[in-house]
Structure 1
Amino acid sequence: MMKKILITGAAGFLGSHLCDRFINEGYYVIGMDNFITGDKKNLFHLEENLCFEFIEHDVTEFINIEGDLDYILHFASPASPIDYLKIPIQTLKVGSLGTHNLLGLAKAKKARILIASTSEVYGDPLVHPQTENYYGNVNTIGPRGVYDEAKRFQESITMAYHRFHGLETRIARIFNTYGPRMRLNDGRVIPAFIGQALRGEDLTIFGDGSQTRSFCYVDDQVEGIYKLLLSSYGLPVNIGNPHEITIKEFAEEVIKLTGTTQNIVYKELPQDDPLQRQPDISLAKKQLNWEPKINREEGMARTYEYFKTLSKEELFKSEHKDFKNHIKK
Structure 2
Amino acid sequence: MSSKSVLVTGAGGFIGFHLVNYLKNKGYKVRGVDIKEPDYEGSSADEFKLLDLREMENCREAVYGMDEVYNLAADMGGIGYISGAHASITYNNTMISAQMLKAAHDAKVERFLFSSSACVYPQHLQDVPSVVPLKEADAFPADPEPGYGLEKLYTEKLCEYFTEDYGFQTRLVRFHNVYGPLGTYDGGKEKAPAAICRKVAHAASGDTIEVWGDGKQTRSFMYVDDCVEGIFRIMRSDYSGPLNLGTDELVDVSGLVDIVAEIAGKTINKRFNTNRPQGVRGRNSDNTLLREVLGWEPPMHLRQGLVPTYRWIEAEVKAGGIERHIMPQVEPMIAAQ
Residue of structure 1 in register with 2:334 after alignment: none
Residue of structure 2 in register with 1:11 after alignment: 12
Residue of structure 1 in register with 2:60 after alignment: 64
CA contact (8 A) 2:198 2:317 kept: no
Distance 2:301 2:73 in 1: 28
Distance 2:60 2:38 in 1: 22
Distance 1:222 1:215 in 2: 14
CA contact (8 A) 1:10 1:19 kept: yes
Residue of structure 1 in register with 2:95 after alignment: 97
Superposition TM-score, scaled by structure 1 size: 0.86
Q: 1:251 aligns with which of 240, 251, 257?
A: 257
Matches of residues 198-237 of structure 1 in structure 2 within 5 Å?
198-200=201-203, 202-237=208-243
Deviation digits for residues 23-54 of structure 1 (CA, Å, limit 9, x no counterpart)? 1111111111113xxx6333x213xx5x5211
Superposition TM-score, scaled by structure 2 size: 0.84
Deviation digits for residues 185-240 of structure 1 (CA, Å, limit 9, x no counterpart)? 12411111111111116333232222111111111111111000011100000000
Once the 2 structures are TM-superposed, how far is the Cα of residue 74 of structure 1 from its aligned partner?
Answer: 1.0
CA contact (8 A) 1:82 1:187 kept: no
- In structure 2, relative to structure 1, the CA distance for the partners of 1:197 and 1:315 (3 Å cut) is farther
Residue of structure 2 in register with 1:130 after alignment: 134
Identity %: 27
- In structure 2, relative to structure 1, the CA distance for the partners of 1:87 and 1:9 (3 Å cut) is farther
Distance 1:173 1:118 in 2: 4
Once the 2 structures are TM-superposed, how far is the Cα of residue 165 of structure 1 from its aligned partner?
Answer: 1.6
Residue of structure 2 in register with 1:324 after alignment: none
Structure 2: gaps (5+ residues): 126-130, 324-337
CA RMSD of aligned residues (A): 2.3
Letter in 2 for 1:103: L
Distance 1:258 1:252 in 2: 10
Aligned residues: 307
CA contact (8 A) 1:121 1:152 kept: yes
- In structure 2, relative to structure 1, the CA distance for the partners of 1:202 and 1:75 (3 Å cut) is farther
Runs of 4+ displaced beyond 4 Å: 136-140, 269-272, 311-317
Distance 2:279 2:35 in 1: 28
Matches of residues 1-329 of structure 1 in structure 2 within 5 Å?
2-35=3-36, 40-42=38-40, 44-46=41-43, 49=44, 52-62=46-56, 63-65=59-61, 67-80=64-77, 81-85=79-83, 87-111=85-109, 112-126=111-125, 128-135=132-139, 145-185=146-186, 186-200=189-203, 202-268=208-274, 270=276, 273-312=279-318, 314=320
User: Secondary structure at 1:250's aligned position in 2?
Assistant: helix
CA contact (8 A) 1:129 1:278 kept: yes
Structure 1: gaps (5+ residues): 318-329
User: Secondary structure at 2:244's aligned position in 1?
Assistant: strand
CA contact (8 A) 1:124 1:276 kept: no
CA contact (8 A) 2:10 2:34 kept: yes
